[in-house]
Structure 1
Amino acid sequence: MRKISLLLLLLTALSASAQAVRKYSNEFMNIGVDAAALGMSNAVVASTGDVNSGYWNPAGILKLEDKQVALMHASYFANIAQYDYAAFAMPIDSESAWGVSLIRFGVDDILNTTQLIDDQGNIDYNRISLFSTADYGATFSYARRLKIEGFQYGVNAKVIRRIIGKFANSWGFGLDVGLQFDRNDWHFGLMLRDITTTYNIWNIDEEEYAQIAGAVEGQNQELPESSEITLPKAQLGVSKKFEFHNEMTLLAATNLNMRFEQTNDLISSSFVSIDPAIGFEWGYIDMVFVRAGLGNFQNVEQIDGTKKVGFQPNVGLGFKYKGIQVDYALTDLGDQSAALYSNIFSLKVDLGIFR
């Protein structure tokens, strides 16, 4: 029954922008990758320096010493939606590096019941069909050192492909730019996402759309707007790793996630809204890691009209041995925010171990 109701949700999503260009799109690209980063509440823009940097800050792939691959899987909405990620990155020379990554967020085997009742009013279960809805994001990253010592930059070119069964599909394109600066064991990072306002163009099958629109009583039969944009966002980060004599380390990091519109974020104005995040990673002999973080700070309005601050706590564990790293994250530990619990696993491998 939950998958049946998804059909109506998809119809609503298509129709929500019938009068204007949609300004919120491609939200699946904001979920995040790498259980290690998610365990720190995504506060990694300054510290990231591996294959996953193509997502968090492409400047970070310059810190790679060899080829590296990463995989991640997560389930959302009571295992209805599946989120998968794969990435590869490698240095070109001492001054540059490149990488590529792919994200898929999809719901499969959704029941299409629009043809359940035939023209004579008879129910025929053989008329039920299945379809899938999936969002794909392919990112191509390039990074290079600047002539100023400690500075490096990276650029992402993104291709977005979104499919809703036979009803509609779209293509989108966008750019990200990232900067990192290292000085005296302090690390600073700036990530500008969708700086050109990622633009999606939808192709809607009028005949198929008419069938699902007609299946909902009172539904607007007009085709929804075929264009949508993703507004720019910025992330500013600072981090520092502390090393202790007993082979233990502590990485402390913070992010300021900025959107250039008024929202329910902790700091909100008509020009910019800011959602802070903080993360910690305790490490022992660069083999065992324990992580924790707080993020997604929101002003949540209560039933009585008052507001309270909601936030999302995350925790995680990691284990690395001879170039193979396995990480786990539990996002939204507790009942502080409206986000759903998610168990996330990721794998990272240095391909140099096979040489």
Structure 2
Amino acid sequence: MKSYITTVFLIVTVTLFGQTTRKYSNEFMNIGVDAAALGMSSAVTSHTADVNSGYWNPAGLVNLEDNQLSLMHSSYFANIANYDYVAFAKPIDDRSTMGISLIRFAVDDILDTTQLIDDQGNINYDRISLFSTADYGLTFSYARKLPVEGLNYGVNAKVIRRIIGDFASSWGFGLDVGIQFESKNKWRFGLMARDITTTFNAWNINEDAFAKIQNAVEGQNQELPETTEITIPKLQIGISKLMTFNYDYSFLAALNLNVRFEENNDVFSSSFASINPALGFEFGYIDMIYLRTGVGNFQNELQIDNTDQLSFQPSFGVGFKYNGIQVDYAFTDIGDQSVALYSNVFSLKLDFSIFR
């Protein structure tokens, strides 16, 4: 039974990853990075201002005063899937910054039981092998200050690499554009347009490897899947305000509107677009200790009695920063308020000013 389940999982994986024009391709690029941001339910489009801006809004990279390095790790599905992220950013001059980041989302050491039974019908466990399914996202970022005071822009060029063992692999390319503006009264506004050119993934199916699973389940998976998929554009609009009290205390409030150009179960949805809001809050003490919380991923879930029930995903986070080193932790889906799985996220950020 275990071998059968593994084989079915393999068939479904190969088939799904090769479908054409899927709306939700490259979803691993939407999970998010940096525990500080995830603790605020990702409502950071308007105020992100460090090395992680290459992901959230590249316009924020211009706020760097020195080189920065960021690392993050989280696990999903009872540690079956691992999500890792590394990023580096470097100021070019007093008006521009460049950055590079890499995301890997993978399930490793999957049992390949397609050859478990030999040509004589005998079960041979030595014929079991292991493979991995891994998604990689490499992003090159550039940001620059515009002549208008407080107005910055940034651009991302993304290279997507997806591998399913020896069965299939793909390459994809896409572009993001971001803008940030800070008013004189310290209100911050942000706009992030993801996959503005529509990100294309071209799949290469290994026909020899695919032939191994064509008859694994009778009557299923007899034809090769399509080899092209696209990722449709998305828009994120943000606004935030940072307030300081008695010099030692700070409070940051942020709102994001995540727009997808389709009709779905988001809390606000039409045939043209859907809008999913996210709220995030951060309380800071002496620019060293941080407490964060947020709520997002609002969905109208259809119940068994055909009624809709509003679900959401809360989050909580803490952070500590000292002398150029920042460590953050985030915990999402507190109390199992939505169908989204909870996760523990850890991240580390290093400002190279510590060495100077």
- Give the TM-score of the pair, scaled to structure 1: 0.97
Q: CA 1:233–1:4 in 2, change beyond 3 Å: closer, same or farther?
A: farther
Q: CA 1:179–1:248 in 2, change beyond 3 Å: closer, same or farther?
A: same
Quick one: distance in 2 between partners of 1:186 and 1:95?
21
Note if contact 1:233-1:260 (Cα within 8 Å) is conserved in structure 2: yes
Show structure 1 runs of 4+ deviating over 2 A.
Answer: 1-11, 13-24
Quick one: distance in 2 between partners of 1:245 and 1:10?
59
The one-letter amino acid of 1:33's match is V
**SS of aligned partner of 2:181:** strand
- The superposition leaves residues 124-143 of structure 1 with CA deviations (integer Å, 9 ceiling, x where unpaired) of 00000000110000000000
In the alignment, what sits opposite 1:139?
A: 139
Quick one: distance in 1 between partners of 2:250 and 2:332?
23
What is the CA distance between 1:212 and its match in structure 2? 1.7
Quick one: distance in 2 between partners of 1:2 and 1:76?
21
In the alignment, what sits opposite 2:168?
A: 168
In the alignment, what sits opposite 1:93?
A: 93
Q: How does 1:45-64 map to 2 (within 5 A)?
A: 45-64=45-64
Quick one: distance in 2 between partners of 1:36 and 1:240?
17
Note if contact 1:4-1:110 (Cα within 8 Å) is conserved in structure 2: no
The one-letter amino acid of 1:312's match is Q
Q: How does 1:10-159 map to 2 (within 5 A)?
A: 10-16=10-16, 20-159=20-159
The one-letter amino acid of 2:86's match is A
What is the CA distance between 1:217 and its match in structure 2? 2.1
What is the CA distance between 1:3 and its match in structure 2? 9.5
Q: CA 1:147–1:136 in 2, change beyond 3 Å: closer, same or farther?
A: same
What is the CA distance between 1:210 and its match in structure 2? 1.6
Quick one: distance in 1 between partners of 2:323 and 2:108?
37
Q: CA 1:4–1:315 in 2, change beyond 3 Å: closer, same or farther?
A: farther
Quick one: distance in 2 between partners of 1:73 and 1:348?
12
In the alignment, what sits opposite 2:252?
A: 251
Quick one: distance in 2 between partners of 1:61 and 1:71?
16
In the alignment, what sits opposite 2:345?
A: 344
Note if contact 2:277-2:298 (Cα within 8 Å) is conserved in structure 1: yes
- Percent identity among equivalent residues? 68
Quick one: distance in 1 between partners of 2:32 and 2:215?
37
What is the CA distance between 1:207 and its match in structure 2? 1.3
Q: CA 1:6–1:80 in 2, change beyond 3 Å: closer, same or farther?
A: farther
Quick one: distance in 2 between partners of 1:15 and 1:354?
50
Quick one: distance in 1 between partners of 2:223 and 2:161?
24
Q: CA 1:95–1:246 in 2, change beyond 3 Å: closer, same or farther?
A: closer
- The superposition leaves residues 273-314 of structure 1 with CA deviations (integer Å, 9 ceiling, x where unpaired) of 000000000000000000000000000011111111000000
**SS of aligned partner of 2:336:** coil
**SS of aligned partner of 1:126:** helix
Quick one: distance in 1 between partners of 2:278 and 2:335?
17
Note if contact 2:198-2:233 (Cα within 8 Å) is conserved in structure 1: yes
Note if contact 2:186-2:241 (Cα within 8 Å) is conserved in structure 1: yes
**SS of aligned partner of 2:353:** helix
Quick one: distance in 2 between partners of 1:35 and 1:82?
15
Quick one: distance in 2 between partners of 1:244 and 1:319?
19
Q: CA 1:207–1:231 in 2, change beyond 3 Å: closer, same or farther?
A: same
Note if contact 1:296-1:312 (Cα within 8 Å) is conserved in structure 2: yes
Quick one: distance in 2 between partners of 1:7 and 1:250?
52
What is the CA distance between 1:18 and its match in structure 2? 7.6
Q: CA 1:300–1:6 in 2, change beyond 3 Å: closer, same or farther?
A: farther
Q: CA 1:5–1:88 in 2, change beyond 3 Å: closer, same or farther?
A: farther
Quick one: distance in 1 between partners of 2:173 and 2:104?
16
Quick one: distance in 2 between partners of 1:290 and 1:95?
32
Quick one: distance in 2 between partners of 1:4 and 1:72?
35
In the alignment, what sits opposite 2:294?
A: 293
**SS of aligned partner of 1:334:** helix
What is the CA distance between 1:13 and its match in structure 2? 3.8
**SS of aligned partner of 1:93:** coil
What is the CA distance between 1:2 and its match in structure 2? 7.9
Quick one: distance in 2 between partners of 1:245 and 1:336?
36
Note if contact 1:160-1:173 (Cα within 8 Å) is conserved in structure 2: yes
Note if contact 1:234-1:257 (Cα within 8 Å) is conserved in structure 2: yes
The one-letter amino acid of 1:229's match is I
In the alignment, what sits opposite 1:222?
A: 223
**SS of aligned partner of 1:61:** helix
- The superposition leaves residues 195-235 of structure 1 with CA deviations (integer Å, 9 ceiling, x where unpaired) of 00000000000111121222122213111000000000000
In the alignment, what sits opposite 2:267?
A: 266
- Give the TM-score of the pair, scaled to structure 2: 0.97
Q: CA 1:58–1:40 in 2, change beyond 3 Å: closer, same or farther?
A: same
In the alignment, what sits opposite 1:242?
A: 243
**Structure 1 regions of 5+ residues with no counterpart?**
none
The one-letter amino acid of 1:208's match is A
Note if contact 2:18-2:228 (Cα within 8 Å) is conserved in structure 1: no
Quick one: distance in 1 between partners of 2:3 and 2:50?
37
**SS of aligned partner of 2:92:** strand
The one-letter amino acid of 1:268's match is S
Quick one: distance in 1 between partners of 2:232 and 2:242?
33
Note if contact 2:240-2:253 (Cα within 8 Å) is conserved in structure 1: yes
In the alignment, what sits opposite 2:186?
A: 185
What is the CA distance between 1:320 and its match in structure 2? 0.3
**SS of aligned partner of 2:334:** coil
